[in-house]
Amino acid sequence: MPRLCKPAMNAPEHVITVEETLEFAARAHAGKPQLGLALRLIRNTGVKKRHIVQPIEKTLHHPGLEERNRIYEVESKKRTPRVIEEALAHAELKARDIDAIIYVSCTGFLMPSLTAWLINHMGFRSDTRQIPIAQLGCAAGGAAINRAHDFCMAHPASNVLIVSCELCSPCYQPDADDIGSLLSDGLCGDAVAAAVVRGEGCVGIELERNASYLIPGTEEWFSYAVKDTGFHFQLDRRVPGTMEPLAPVLREPAKDHSWDVGKLDFYIVHAGGPRILDDLARFLEVDREVFRHSWSTLHEFGNIASAVVLEAARGLFEEDALAPGATGLSAGVGPGITAERALGSGAAEGVPQTFA
């Protein structure tokens, strides 16, 4: 069965603390009617610091969509190779061993996809399949793991590289003063992450089954408005309440697999923010501590979109808590409202086990 190997992650060198965020927000949006509420929400996110690709002074300046997308291209090409090399090393593979690259990002646009540049510059074979995913937002990390699982099931013994490049800070809109935008400005950070799903071999999480679900009638709740100035984040006030209808959906794959979702050994979850993580713990009837790797990612890096699931999984590997046979759940939630979930278990090299 396919296995998720230990991920790699890198956060940019420029750091902004929550105290600095509050100071910049108060100055940049002084007099805005929603500012007071936004500052209170930012304080309650639990984010201690975030990493960004440019100094904050440049981040707060909007040079136009063309220049911002150029920054995205330059920074993505600068930052992905090192993380990919580390992920390949964790999987004990070389670039030529990879059969498909799944590239996920919702914070910039390139055509051809960055996958073409990676193939040309990093030694991947010319027949490597390219699978870019651009519009699943925060759910894309979970979707990438699931599509890699599907690919390896369809093509036994294949190896799939997952790359997540989320540069949220260049999407900052100085003139946006709605609550969704202001909260996003204080919550989201930049990061690049990568992982390999091997068709066979490697110590990791054996992928057992996966599923997708879209809450009907919610496609406008969480979205981008694309304007002359770029991407404008739109967040409906009803989004934090989505864990109640999603909790039964997360239970279904585990129940079908004869597992109890409230009694698993590990949970790798990206649900957006503190309110949603707390609600998910309540509706799944688990202690909030089971999401410790998601909480840690939020505290140390903010919401890094599709990279959260990979970074949370990396935390699980680093903790050395992935015992053979340990059962777990992976879940990512994003625009749609879309939920990507999977089941799996810890696996020692050469010893078939399972993952959720």
Active site residue ranges: 138
**Residue matched to tokens 């997540």:** 164
Give the C-alpha separation, 95 to 118, whole Å: 10
Q: 122: which 2 tokens?
A: 């990093």
In the block, residue with structure tokens 């698993």 = 264
Q: How far apart are CA 87 and CA 7, in angstroms?
A: 6
- Return the HEC string of 165-208: EECCHHHCCCCCCCHHHHHHHHHECCEEEEEEEECCCCCEEEEE
Please check whether residue 151 is in contact with residue 113, taking contact to mean a CB–CB distance below 8 angstroms: no
Q: How far apart are CA 308 and CA 271, in angstroms?
A: 9
Residue 91 CB contacts under 8 Å (≥ 6 apart), including other chains:
5, 6, 159, 196, 198, 202
Rounded to whole angstroms, the Cα distance separating 218 from 140 reads 17
Q: Give the three-state DSSP class for 127.
A: coil
In angstroms, the Cα distances linking 344 to 111, 208, 276, 282 are 34, 5, 23, 22
Residue 285 three-state SS: coil
